[in-house]
Structure 1
Amino acid sequence: MRVRLDLGYDGTAFSGWAEQPGLRTVQGELTAGLARVLRLDPAPRLTVAGRTDAGVHANGQVAHVDVPRARWDAVPGRSGTEPAAALVRRLAGVLPPDVRVHRAGLAPEGFDARFSALRRRYAYRVCDDPAGLPPLRRFDVLHHRRPLDLGAMDLAARSLVGLREFAAFCRPREGATTVRTLLAYSWTRDGDGLLVADVQADAFCHSMVRALVGAALAVGDGRRDVAWPRLVQDAAVRDPTVAVVAAQGLTLEEVVYPADGDLAARAHEARAVRTLP
């Protein structure tokens, strides 16, 4: 049975999503929790929508796991509750407090947490108050020491949207394409005075969101002009002058999927290598 898991986590104390020997990771904690609750040996294999880096948070992460039917049916025990609700409740009892599964349920036919996704939506939060960060936000907001021009940042960000080559904003990986469709990139101020980036794409390459934010901050504090990020993008080579900002301000807010009947087709489409027309 393929089970969809919707989860969130505070990435502060994690070395990212992916399991790594000797390091504490979200995948490691969740895999161990599932193995314990479902009584699986070996532990189940998880597929995730977005492999977040060390220190990155999530409110709307999605993963799937394939579970033997007998183990799924046995989750409620004698409680009489539905397996999905029982799994959420039992995972809450074994997972650490900085990771929580909000929902669980049988996935529709053709669902793949990674490849069926239409878009991932991230938020990056920045405080430019000279007094510094509010104490309760010190783990999910970046403090920028210079005042920021919101309008200039927003103009620069919007100029990067579209199907483009993002090599300038990505750490290259051998054999991987850096062509992506940036569906939305904008900046606003929220009710607490924080600058919030809304960054959405079909998929992201390594460090892409944090590099896009770094470019916008350089525009916002006057070190670069509004046209500079687009010039960097058009050069299509990794630019060492683009700062990759700290992970703490970044949160995966949402993963969007198509209607159930389109899941398999979307997964097939997403596996194709992206190229520019």
Structure 2
Amino acid sequence: MSLFRLLDDRHPLRGRLAMGVEYDGSAYCGWQRLKHAASVQGELERALCRVASQPVTVHASGRTDSGVHATRQVVHFDAPAPRSEKAWVFGVNANLARDVAVRWVREVPDDFHARFKALARRYRYLILNQMSRPVLERANVTWCRDPLDADAMHRAAQALVGEHDFSSFRAAGCQSKTPWRHLHFIEVRRHGPLVVVDVQGNAFLHHMVRNIVGALVSVGRGEQGEGYLAELLALKDRTLSDVTAPACGLHFVDSLYDGAWGLPQEPLGPNLLAFLGEWTGERELPDCPMVEFRRGRPLAVGNGAMDEEDDA
């Protein structure tokens, strides 16, 4: 997919539409609409309503918590009125706050569902590891002034790959029915002053990624050994685990779907990591129950791997 292309302004899009959304979560209580605080969902629905001249309800691929960012949040909605591709993208963006933007829109079959058809979700956590505090990047990274051993963090994190009970890494208020999740991969890499934790799984528990990062930082500082993550995983007790990393460093960078849906492929964000050059859908997904089930090839399901995500 090219980074630049003309948007069609002649042919109205009808029925169910999928849309890619990017946002800076700093000013929002999170994705989910709330009556008492600003939310990304509420902001997007308000803008869609102005373009459609009717109420619109959107469904997202996954919820993000207060202060968490997204570069590829995929949503779907049933269009109450026909509008062209250009009208949906430019029209909605004209009515959105500057910290939320629509990237693309596509017609999809009526059985597409942004949440229930997603094969995987992917997050990147950015740590700026330098002596001085961040200025230009301050809203998009977490600052750590102590030297971090990214290689040790990466080795420690490999204990989490696969299907496990992640009770030690779920928030106390997590509403998920099961603590079991399947982590497809987790990588920790240093790029100059940036230490990036890149993680993909079938779904995530409330604060799961931030709690994992909090423990990994303890390993990176040398306060804990490389077996620390495996020890915490075995405990299955959040009260015996580590701190929760700040929300500002967390970015929801990908929702993966079967290629048959025809959703656009995009460079993975955030733009601070554009030099990595990776696009969505490049990596092979593991043969696990949820992936096979959502591709229409049901397998035996164990340990709650089909359960949906909460806020990461």
TM over 0.5: yes
Instruction: Tell me which interval the TM-score lies in, with the shorter structure as reference length.
Output: 0.7 to 0.9
User: 3-state DSSP class of the match of 1:245?
Assistant: coil
The residue number in structure 2 matching 1:266 is 294
Instruction: Work out which of the residue numbers 1, 12, 27 in structure 1 matches 2:41.
Output: 27
Per-residue deviation, 1:89: 1.0
Per-residue deviation, 1:241: 3.4
Q: Distance in 2 between matches of 1:212 and 1:147?
A: 18
Per-residue deviation, 1:265: 5.2
The residue number in structure 1 matching 2:74 is 62
The residue number in structure 1 matching 2:304 is 275
User: 3-state DSSP class of the match of 1:120?
Assistant: strand
Q: Distance in 1 between matches of 2:111 and 2:259?
A: 11
The residue number in structure 1 matching 2:265 is none
Query: Which residue identity lines up with residue 177 of structure 1 in the other structure?
Result: T
Q: Distance in 2 between matches of 1:212 and 1:256?
A: 22
Aligned positions of 1:139-178 closer than 5 A:
139-172=139-172, 173-174=174-175, 176-178=177-179
Q: Distance in 1 between matches of 2:254 and 2:261?
A: 20
Q: Are 1:95 and 2:96 an aligned pair?
A: yes
Cα-Cα RMSD? 2.2
Aligned positions of 1:185-196 closer than 5 A:
185-190=186-191, 192-196=192-196
Q: Distance in 1 between matches of 2:255 and 2:231?
A: 30
Change (3 A) 1:273 1:205: farther
Per-residue deviation, 1:188: 0.5
Contact 2:124 2:252 in 1 (8 A): yes
Query: Which residue identity lines up with residue 129 of structure 1 in the other structure?
Result: Q
Change (3 A) 1:175 1:128: closer
The residue number in structure 1 matching 2:129 is 128
Query: Which residue identity lines up with residue 32 of structure 1 in the other structure?
Result: R
Per-residue deviation, 1:145: 2.6
Residue-by-residue CA offset, 1:73-114 (whole Å, 9 max, x unaligned): xx2xxxxxxx12221010111111100000011113531101
Query: Which residue identity lines up with residue 181 of structure 1 in the other structure?
Result: H
Q: Distance in 1 between matches of 2:176 and 2:17?
A: 31
Aligned positions of 1:200-215 closer than 5 A:
200-215=200-215
Query: Which residue identity lines up with residue 62 of structure 1 in the other structure?
Result: V
Q: Distance in 1 between matches of 2:292 and 2:19?
A: 18
The residue number in structure 1 matching 2:17 is 3
TM-score of the aligned structures, taking structure 1 as reference length: 0.88
User: 3-state DSSP class of the match of 1:88?
Assistant: helix
Per-residue deviation, 1:22: 2.4
The residue number in structure 2 matching 1:199 is 199
Tell me the matched-pair count: 260
User: 3-state DSSP class of the match of 1:90?
Assistant: helix
Segments of 4+ in structure 1 off by > 6 A? 261-264, 267-270
Q: Distance in 2 between matches of 1:236 and 1:264?
A: 28
The residue number in structure 2 matching 1:79 is none
Task: Identify which range, 201-210 or 230-239, moves more after superposition.
Answer: 230-239
Q: Distance in 2 between matches of 1:101 and 1:210?
A: 26
Per-residue deviation, 1:127: 1.4
Gaps in structure 1 of 5+ consecutive residues: 76-82
Q: Are 1:105 and 2:106 an aligned pair?
A: yes
Contact 1:177 1:273 in 2 (8 A): no
Gaps in structure 2 of 5+ consecutive residues: 1-14, 263-290, 306-312
Contact 1:153 1:187 in 2 (8 A): yes
Instruction: Work out which of the residue numbers 40, 46, 57 in structure 2 matches 1:45.
Output: 57
Q: Distance in 2 between matches of 1:136 and 1:238?
A: 34
Residue-by-residue CA offset, 1:36-95 (whole Å, 9 max, x unaligned): 11011xx22211011000110011110111123xx12xx2xxxxxxx1222101011111
